[in-house]
Structure 1
């Protein structure tokens, strides 16, 4: 059954966006009477039937609604420096959405090579990954933020900073437990500077390792996401 995204669902009759309507009617060739699934990105998962198959405003009738669909008992926030090659950052967004993540903050740090992103394109990738993996929660994508400003914000979760600088660090798998809300910092290709690590530690972040291998930025983000989700299986 095909799945579509409607961010605001009020009442029992809803209309797909122009883009989603065109995809449903012209590409998938759905017609009146066909049933589809809908997610709203806020935990709502719906079964619906097509009432009007118009390529600009396809109208649906809600048949069944589920709230808090597969809601997790923990929250994961990853703050990560976008990669120089934006395709790699987009891959990170896609895979973490499929695995399970709640919030993403793109960071600018001392060694960052990318300081510009296109939020609208990134949001589309998140929506596509949410639908593909049959999830009902859309991760929150925050504005590109300077690390120094991010560290001054209030973060109530367990806070970690992953880096490859010298020093003894505990593995993330040994620092996270089921039900823990977590915030994990992942640096750019050149990693966090020692000064940035000290700044993070001064506001309550714990240094952690993601294993013995030296990982690319986007891989480190996915590995961190996977470790937290495994701890909650």
Structure 2
């Protein structure tokens, strides 16, 4: 780009700013803000995905990118008993989320939490519906698509490749999480997480 060109930037907090480029440089630039345009998120509910990151970082990044494009408010990486990945450096994931936000023409940046132990996370308050998608036999488990209702805030727990432990499932249920199914097939963590995002958005598009 050259001086005088027009561009649009965002603050990640719900605003677009059409600008004029005053000074161009490979590593930085100076612009003048021509206008401030409110751009709230396009959905009227809160979608919070808490997931156990996979050992393969590429799969985590793929999920973060695609979920951001679909629309999610918050990511919370979980440290579970059977987690393959014990730590997660969020800088690269954040860059991918920022890029996906801009590519999908959104102006609200999803929150990316530091990794947190499962037992600690589920103790945190949440005002909407709370779901845990686990693979263990459970007569009370229903399909997420039949459980969640339009307009409801939703928090969904997605476990590691080895699933949640029996103790983790029981702790979540004791704290008000509802058991849900994402289908008959055994899904990878990132696939299950993205399917949960898509399901919630489809329910709210009706």
TM bracket, shorter-chain basis:
over 0.9
Alignment of 1:120-199 (within 5 A): 120-168=91-139, 169-199=141-171
1:34 aligned partner: 5
1:214 aligned partner: 186
What is the alpha-carbon distance in structure 2 between the residues aligned to residue 62 and residue 31 of structure 1?
Answer: 16
Corresponding residue SS for 1:184: strand
What is the alpha-carbon distance in structure 2 between the residues aligned to residue 156 and residue 190 of structure 1?
Answer: 29
1:103 aligned partner: 74
What is the alpha-carbon distance in structure 2 between the residues aligned to residue 94 and residue 65 of structure 1?
Answer: 26
What is the alpha-carbon distance in structure 1 between the residues aligned to residue 27 and residue 199 of structure 2?
Answer: 42
Residue 99 of structure 1 and its aligned partner are, at CA, apart by 0.3
Corresponding residue SS for 2:148: coil
Q: Give ranges in structure 1 of 5+ residues lacking alignment.
A: 1-29
Corresponding residue SS for 1:160: strand
Count of aligned residue pairs for this structure pair: 204
What is the alpha-carbon distance in structure 2 between the residues aligned to residue 49 and residue 175 of structure 1?
Answer: 48
What is the alpha-carbon distance in structure 1 between the residues aligned to residue 202 and residue 18 of structure 2?
Answer: 30
Q: Do the aligned partners of 1:51 and 1:60 also contact (CA within 8 Å) in 2?
A: yes
Q: Do the aligned partners of 1:97 and 1:139 also contact (CA within 8 Å) in 2?
A: yes
Residue 172 of structure 1 and its aligned partner are, at CA, apart by 0.6
What is the alpha-carbon distance in structure 1 between the residues aligned to residue 60 and residue 27 of structure 2?
Answer: 32
Q: TM-score, normalised by structure 2?
A: 0.95
1:48 aligned partner: 19
What is the alpha-carbon distance in structure 1 between the residues aligned to residue 204 and residue 20 of structure 2?
Answer: 35
1:84 aligned partner: 55
What is the alpha-carbon distance in structure 2 between the residues aligned to residue 232 and residue 45 of structure 1?
Answer: 25
Q: Do the aligned partners of 1:43 and 1:71 also contact (CA within 8 Å) in 2?
A: no
Q: CA RMSD in A?
A: 1.2
Q: Give ranges in structure 2 of 5+ residues lacking alignment.
A: none
Corresponding residue SS for 2:66: helix
In the TM superposition, what whole-angstrom CA distance separates every residue of 1:62-84 from its partner, at most 9, and x where no partner exists? 22321143442101001000001
Residue 46 of structure 1 and its aligned partner are, at CA, apart by 2.0
What is the alpha-carbon distance in structure 2 between the residues aligned to residue 214 and residue 117 of structure 1?
Answer: 24
What is the alpha-carbon distance in structure 1 between the residues aligned to residue 144 and residue 175 of structure 2?
Answer: 18
2:198 aligned partner: 226
2:45 aligned partner: 74
